[in-house]
A and B are shown apart, each in its own frame.
Chain A
Amino acid sequence: MGIQFTPEIEAQFKSLLPRYPNKLAALIPTLYLAQEQFGYLRPEVMEYVAQRLDLPASQVLNTATFYTMLHKKPVGRYHIEVCTNVSCYLRGCDDVLEALQKKLSIECGETTADGLFTLDEVQCLAACGTAPVMCVNRIYRENLTPDEAVKIVDGLNKSTKP
């Protein structure tokens, strides 16, 4: 089977194009759609996006590799990102991170063997007033304690069918 957008993603893709005067400007939103469907941007996915937007594949690669939120490698079903910048540091993010590393038995940048959890350190998430903060699949969890962070992960575990 070749790579192809599902009808829902295709509809979203088509709705992007009239927003911009050229197709290149639709590249980042399109890469997000591709990532949503295919999990990460492997070379064949980038080539497909290039073809859909009439762009050279090199342009797609150039853009995709510049941005950290466009994944070039597989990430777990739950992507946990803990902010370790100044305001979160002052409010105890190191303890939160340590508790999560222990809970998941992985280091930052790693994915659990079952492919469920990826743990990352992330730069300032712009929620410093409610530090420490982490994101789970881009949903913010704020005012964390190490115990709460572990509880959140436990909750995800339970909601996950094997």
Chain B
Amino acid sequence: MDIHHMATNVLLRDPSIDWTNLDNHRKAGGFEAVKKAFSMDADEIINETKRSNLRGRGGAGFPTGVKWGFVPKQSEKPKYLAVNADEGEPGTFKDRYWLRKDPYPLIEGCIICAYALGINTTYIYIRGEFLEEIRIVEKCIEQCRRAGLLGKNILGSGFDMECWVHPGAGAYICGEETAMLSSLEGKAGQPKLKPPFPAVEGLFRCPTVVNNVETLVCIPLIIQNGGKWFADLGTDRNGGPKVFGVSGHVKRPGLYEFPLGVNLKDVIYKHCGGILNDRKLKAVIPGGSSCPVLTPDEIDIPADFDSFKVVGSMLGTAGVIVIAEPTPLIEVLLRIARFYAHESCGQCTPCREGTGWMVRILENIRKGLATKKEIGLLMDAATKIEGNTICALGDAAAWPVKSFLQKFPDEFSRYLVDAA
């Protein structure tokens, strides 16, 4: 059971075709972008990627071409590409599509990136729960090896690249890039302070590029059609199409491909058919569970990295969670808070202790045991986690708490002992 309602276009392809079949992929022009890349020099590929205004699809939205530019050209050590397929931010389910249904564009993106940056080894780090997806990607990699599309002298270019799948083992934190690299090295997935950034000192202490699955899927499109073509599909500084995963209380949940800048309200009401059972919209978490929540009045905005910032939230992974009346928002926030408490790696005190405190206070509020003072304490805990941890998990835990309390105070105060 794997239902997708797709506005099929360039990222999400015709679901009636088996894209895990290499012949089908090549008949549709597969690996032409790789051939074209081999006729370009490295700087041209990086510049074309910069021109495309492609911003990382893993959530942070950092310009991909700029990130590639940080990797030293000359290096005595080997360089690595590590693909982040540790999809785990609640509300996010886009990368599973390529891993499961259409892995070849990802492999092409890896080859082009590796060629441009002088990398000969790629690891695709796939979350452990994706057992079927791991098998599918491994099978596709093997098909590529047999067809001379991976391994030595790819397509007669003289360029060598090996590609391996590495399984995660059930830790959300390994989606954080430095934690992912530690996990790839066989260690506990605990984030590291930056600098040094992975581009300089990453996997096995060598220069490493970490890119999200969807980011790399965009690369063959950019090489084939040009950076300008890709940039023109989106808005200013937000290039390209983007896959949105809509879940929760909409009539047609699923994956949708839109150009960046699509109106968020249209996504929910037009494309996803509106609210389930025609209930009233209560709240929208726009980009995965860490992104500050929006009220129904705030969703008439273009969906891109910069526009979401203006309303105090983030595009994140574009995992849109739609919440209708009469859902108790304390229950939603409690699940988010429990998630981050469970997934905190335990390294930084504010996150390890603070996330647990936030859960316990929320539980007390829901049980009707808390007073107004404890709402203040909850806010205080969130504020003291934010910005005080090695990685962004602390922030990700704090932002939902702060935004839910600020935008929906009645949803919490109604449980208080001293409620007015």
Contacts and interface: CB of A to CB of B under 8 A. Distances in A.
A96 interface: no
Give the size category of B's interface with A: 35 or more
Given A21-B204, A69-B169, A129 B289 contact: no
A118 B62 CA distance: 42
Contact of B327 (A28, A59, A90, A143): A90
Which of A19, A87, A127, A139 counts the most B-chain CB atoms under 10 A from its CB? A87
Contacts of B183: 28
A126 interface: yes
A87 B90 contact: yes
B127 A126 contact: yes
A137 to B, nearest CB: 8
Nearest to B289: A86
Nearest to A25: B186
B167 A140 contact: no
B234 interface: no
A69 B146 CA distance: 32
Interface of B: 1-4, 78, 87-93, 95-96, 127-132, 162, 164, 166-172, 183-189, 204, 245-249, 253-255, 285, 289, 319, 321-323, 327, 331-332, 335-336, 339, 342-343, 345
Give the size category of A's interface with B: 35 or more
A131 interface: yes
Given A68-B171, A127-B96, A143-B1, A87 B321 contact: yes
- Interface majority SS on A: helix, strand, loop or mixed? mixed
Contacts of B166: 28-29
A124 B317 CA distance: 14
A25 B96 contact: no
B255 A138 contact: no
Given A28-B186, A85-B90, A143-B3, A22 B204 contact: yes
B172 A129 contact: no
A84 interface: yes
B89 A124 contact: yes
Given A29-B166, A135-B129, A142 B1 contact: yes
